[in-house]
Chain A
Amino acid sequence: MMKIRTSMAVIAATALPLLTACGATPPAKSEQAAEITLWSFVKASDTVVKTFNESRKGFRVKLETVPSGPEYYSKLSNAVKAGTVPDVALVEFMRLPEVVSTGQLEDLTASAGPLVAQRFPAQVRNLVELGQKTWAVPRDVGPMMLYYRKDFFAKHKIDVPATWEEYREAAGKAKKADPRARAGVFWNNDASVLTGLAWQAGAKWFRAEGGAWRVDLDGEPSRKVAAYWESLVKDDLVRPLPALMDAFWQSVKAGETVAYVCASWCAGGLQATVPDQKGKWALAPLPTWDGKPASGMYGGSAFGVPKGAKHAAQAMEFIKWITTDPEGMKAWVSSGTSSMFPADPALVSVVKQSFKTDYFGGQDIYATGATSYDSVLPGWTWGPAMGTTFTSIIDSLGKMQNGSPLSGALTGAETATVSDMKSRGLSAQS
């Protein structure tokens, strides 16, 4: 009874403001506003905003949680078209050139250029500085590593692979040791890990050269990577599964996935989703082609100011705080479950303190993360039509079942990307 009455009161309390808020258009036109808006879908955004609002005077931030995925970018581009943008918006690195080249972000060169140049290493600066302008400030990066079941590898005397050749052997041994177990996963509905692996092999899919885009998805390094993973799938050494969805977690839980390639931020998800394998997992640097440390990136995000935002100066102040201020960075990871790796190397120590490493048997995973981050190959640029590029690759992944080669998927994606860029009026050549 008590409960029912409380919920009725809650209904009344929530319905009232809803009804009175009807039709109110946001007035705020003055430069210095009392409140600015943030669009974000990454976890802990609410904590960060709360901490900011409590610690600062002058203005508040209002968080609007948006869904992640392609829908988010369509929402952002709609908002820019309609002039209903927030003041700060989250943009993933891989989508940044697309968002910038469709005119959705303010140029932050004057306000953030020096900061970005001073705080961030080249391999990530490259992702937010396009056409000699700075468009966003990096928050976190996703250097790729190898996740593996330490107990399984030890029990069956499988060495942690340092090269891709050794990885193939390890995968074979794992399968032999337990016919249900696979030491790898091939994401069959996602192209970003494949892209990161091509990045690691030295591919440069997009280059901005002399006012024109050079697109090269099926160059030698990418072909090598495609052929390698295709053969792993064909020999049933890795299992095709949808990326980080229920089927994948089921296989981890059942002990059928004993190793997989993922980014630094995957650690948090692993320990939250499969808590009963605590102490069994470990992280190793990504295997490489020639034995020299090298990695690519999977994920990672930055914050920018959408075109037409009304409070750019305050937005910049907030962005600075959440990306490069130790207090801001602490707020991101205060829940203790996020394994986010800060893009600003100076803040790694801040983040490290808050992440409990007992899931990984006390391993200093941030140290592994840091070496992986250092080894991310510089010079990679994302393309201005990643939506098309990824869609095209993923569509072809579906056809792999019928025997189309993976390298063909890359060639097809290159053609689709170039023609899409050209139809938008960009200068592009393959």
Chain B
Amino acid sequence: MTARYSLTRIISSLIAVGVVAAAVPAAHDLTTVKVAQAADAAPSGDSAIMRRLTPQQYQRIVSDVFGVDTEIQGRFEPVPRVAGLLEVGTGQVGLTSSGFQQYYTIAQGIAAKALDKNHRDVLMPCKPASATAPDNACAQQFLSKVGELLYRRPLTQDELKMQVDLAGQGATTMKNFYNGLSLSLESMMVQPQFIYRQETVVPSKTKPGTFELDAYSKATRLSFFFWDTAPDRALLDAAKSGSLDTPAGIKKQIDRLEASPRYEDGVRAFFTDMLQFDQLDLVGKDATLYPNFTRNAVDDAREQTLRTIADHLINQNGDYRSLFTTRKTFLTPMLGSLYRVSVVSDLPNGYPEQWTAHEYPDGDPRAGILTHISFVSLHSHPGRTSPTIRGRAIRETILCQKVPDPPGNVNFTVVQDTTNPLYKTSRERLKAHATEAMCTGCHKITDPIGLALENFDSDGGYRTTENGAPIDGSGTLDGKTFSNAQTLGQVVSEMPAATQCLVRRLTAYGLGREVPATRADWLKGLQETFAKEGYRVTDLMKTIATSPEFYQSGAAS
């Protein structure tokens, strides 16, 4: 049994007993079926990979399809970070009953707004013969148009018939055409075809005996990779025409996607995931120690780094490695109060979010995104810094190196006591802590690089002393010496692991899984091309997306 037919019965039951009452138990069926389906994936045209939409992707699709003023009220279930990426984790999550209920509640709100009097005339391609009775022809026009954008492929005849029937039954029961249509819209938005990015594989036309994504799945993979949203009409048309089955057709679409302003959304989404900036939502600081670290400041800090990345990689087409050394960034007055830099907004009071280009002068301790508030505050404790956490973050997020978790019986007393007069600085406390044999090994990996960032307090503010003692930021990273955060950035930028990590993360992000060892040669080739092209991320993304490997089925391998 497929999920589609299971849902047919569910939707019938919605009509029979009332939508809300039936929606929650339906989730059990949905989850069970989809998980089984994924496990049984086979290269026969069935779904091979399913990734649940992230909240940002869901929001973008809703805005694209129904209008930018449609806001999502509610939160989705969390996704685990796998292989350093939530995007990989989205391929490994099911849906609980309460999670389904949340999707349903959100879908109700969106459908109601999309079809209210203020919006329906824009969205509807037709007018019903009567607003108080079913009109299957008009409903079909609307549902096939919207359904293709939501499902990222044309609806099958069965799917369309089911939704049109549902709209008709709803219109009859409620004596309102639009309410009936709204019911169908709600139902489509809780279907796995919408909530999950389903990818379908077919036998390869160019390499007999192998399998690859079908055209619509290619369109979906491309669109989410470059824009972090569902394919637009042009991409769906390209899939329909068969042009995505040719390298030239794919290249043409990639060029179009990259040229769009929406490309920046895709780049931002990737780096948000790679740098784990979703965790910034959970960051809080002791307000007594760090009074300027407010919620708005956190939001600005995240935006500062993403804006810096987007400008450097897209607008300037800069070298990826320079992100760790660049002195150019963007600031708001809010961030200026944390960085202690004069930042002017010429907007009236109440609009402090105005962004200003800023370049730190030579000799300034700030250089590169590792010195941004976003990075150092995210990887700190609420009341103090943590060279260990910061060092681990650089190892794991920037260099793709795994740092073991600490054993469960570690005594952290010495590290946590910032008032001990014997150990005034983090370096001194960690040195004392590292005398415990079980700790020494890992701390050697993390602490030297984390200590380079000690000039930046837990809130990102600059400091030269801790408890009156001078801060020493010097150390070594895999044999390369540095004297402070500035030179650490230089060392990181020159490490092959940094660029290799980006290639590894970017491919995993696009594929929804890490590239298997059997395709190590592809990764190696990408790395070589990346280097040859001066470490330009846009070029790397285009190289990845034009690779046949990007569309080959996981099942086939």
A-B complex is real: no
